[in-house]
Amino acid sequence: MIADVVVGLQFGDEGKGKVTHQLARNGNYTHVVRFNGGCNAGHTIYHEGKKFVTHHIPAGVFYGIKSIIGPGCVVSPKKLFKEIKELESGGIEVRQHLKIAANAHVITDFHVAEDSRDEDIGTTKTGNGPAYRDKYARKGVMAVEIPEFDDMIIDMYAELHDNPEFDKVEILCEGAQGFGLDIDWGEYPFVTSSHCTTAGVISNGIPHTAIRDVWGVAKVYETYVGAKEFETDDDEIFDKIREVGSEFGATTGRPRQISWMSIDMIKRSVKVNGANKIVFNKADILEEVEAWCIYDGMDAHDFKNSEDMEQWILKELDEPEIVIFSRSPEEI
């Protein structure tokens, strides 16, 4: 078995959807697996010139690859069927390829109603936190219990470890959210309720020995949506980046708070995730606003241009195999 992993190095919205979509196109994957989170995620994907936003559905469906919502995920039946409809009306075949692990958990209407009253964390109000809480309290509902899911349910062990359909199982693992929102590594309590790092992959039935590449995805600046104060006020450049970079939530439409990239956060999350390949997205946006800055501890480093900044980043990182600075919303 081989598994490649895509994880977020910052606060979500780094462009994991784009990276996953491109890897799915170029690789030989038999499966694409979402390993954490629910419909709190919003992955923006450009496919054959059309824009799609996925929440639950792994990007494998765009290329007819078997796509699994893994046991580490929580899934809302209503939102899932709505999303299937949307993708299918955009010309993507979903039903033949989409599977749900029997032991994934369900987001109920009750969870959504509860989450909609949140004011402290600034959640996406999609019921994510209450669904995970009930899972761990051992009173949750599993996907296998939902009659509407019948024809999509699979046993994850049989699928990955005992599957005569494939000579060799090759999995692309699509992460949601990111290091700064991780339940263990984010700034608690301003976090999501799942494991957003490579650690989250393994509990889905994908052994650590299978992992080949870990793609860490970041942006050349930071964004965050939620209740904590993140953006330093009165900095006009952040308004500009928000406009030019279209930094509004793909799930909730909320304006994302903006900051300069923290190199410390990148280093920490690269290490904790074991990322050997790194993509920095949206380098084109800083070029458009003509500002380049990075936080290094208490210091802010200004740069003259992209090249200067990129050279500096490369020197700071501990020799990853690949570092890509991307300037396109569609490809890396």
Annotated catalytic residue 13: yes
Among 22, 76, 123, 198, binds ligand IMP (CB under 6 A): 123
CB atoms within 10 A of CB 128: 27
- Residue in 21, 31, 43, 111 annotated catalytic: 43
How far apart are the C-alpha atoms of 249 and 233, rounded to whole Å?
20
Given candidates 45, 181, 261, 286, which one binds ligand IMP under the rule CB under 6 A?
Answer: 181
By a kind-dependent CB cut-off of 5 to 8 A, residue 176 interacts, out of ligand IMP, Mg ion, none, with ligand IMP
Select the residue whose beta carbon is closest to ligand IMP and give its number: 226
Question: Residue from 30, 36, 108, 124 that binds ligand IMP (CB under 6 A)?
Answer: 124
How big is the site for ligand IMP, counted in residues (CB under 6 A)?
20
Q: Look up residue 120 and give its two tokens.
A: 């402290």
CA distances to 213, 255, 276, 278 from 273, rounded to whole Å, are 11, 28, 9, 11
12 binds ligand IMP (CB under 6 A): yes
When CB distances are held under 5 to 8 angstroms depending on the partner's kind, the choice from ligand IMP, Mg ion, none that residue 123 binds is: ligand IMP
Q: By C-beta, is 17 or 205 nearer to ligand IMP?
A: 17
- What does DSSP say about strands 105-106 and 74-75: parallel, antiparallel, or unpaired? parallel
Q: Number of C-alpha atoms within 13 angstroms, CB side, residue 295?
A: 13
- The option from ligand IMP, Mg ion, none interacting with 160 (CB < 5 to 8 A, set by class) reads none
Closer Cβ to ligand IMP, 56 or 66, answer by number: 56
Count other Cβ atoms within 10 Å, centred on residue 248: 15
Region 125-164 residues binding ligand IMP, contact defined as CB under 6 A: 126, 128-129
For residue 181, the partner it binds in ligand IMP, Mg ion, none, with Cβ less than 5 to 8 A by kind, is ligand IMP
Among 70, 77, 205, 226, binds ligand IMP (CB under 6 A): 226
- Look up residue 157 and give its two tokens: 């062990």
Q: Within positions 221 to 250, which residues make up the interface with Mg ion, using CB under 5 A?
A: 250
Work out which of 4, 5, 6, 13 binds ligand IMP, going by CB under 6 A.
13
Number of H-type helices and E-type strands within the chain: 10, 17
Nearer to Mg ion, 249 or 320 (CB): 249
Q: What are phi and psi of 131, to 5 degrees?
A: -65, -45
13 binds Mg ion (CB under 5 A): yes
CB of 188 to ligand IMP, least distance (A): 11
Residue 119 has a CB neighbour count (10 Å cut-off) of: 7
Q: Residue 28 has what DSSP assignment?
A: -
Residue 232 vs 305, nearer CB to ligand IMP: 232
Helix (H) or strand (E) holding 237: helix 236-244
Give me the count of residues in the chain.
332
Give the pair of three-digit tokens for residue 224. Answer: 């965050």
| Per-residue binding letters, 160-179, with ligand IMP (x by CB under 6 A) | ----------------xx--
- Does 97 qualify as catalytic in the annotation? no
Determine contact, residues 60/24, Cβ cutoff 8 Å: yes
Beta carbons of 293 and 232 less than 8 angstroms apart: no
Distance CA 258, CA 238 (A): 6
Residue 83 sits in the site that holds ligand IMP (CB under 6 A) = no
Return phi, psi of residue 213, to 5°.
-115, 140
Phi, psi of 18 (to 5 degrees): -60, -45
Catalytic residues: 13, 43
Interface residue list for ligand IMP (CB under 6 A) = 12-13, 40-42, 121-124, 126, 128-129, 176-177, 181, 190, 192-193, 225-226
Interface residue list for Mg ion (CB under 5 A) = 13, 42, 250
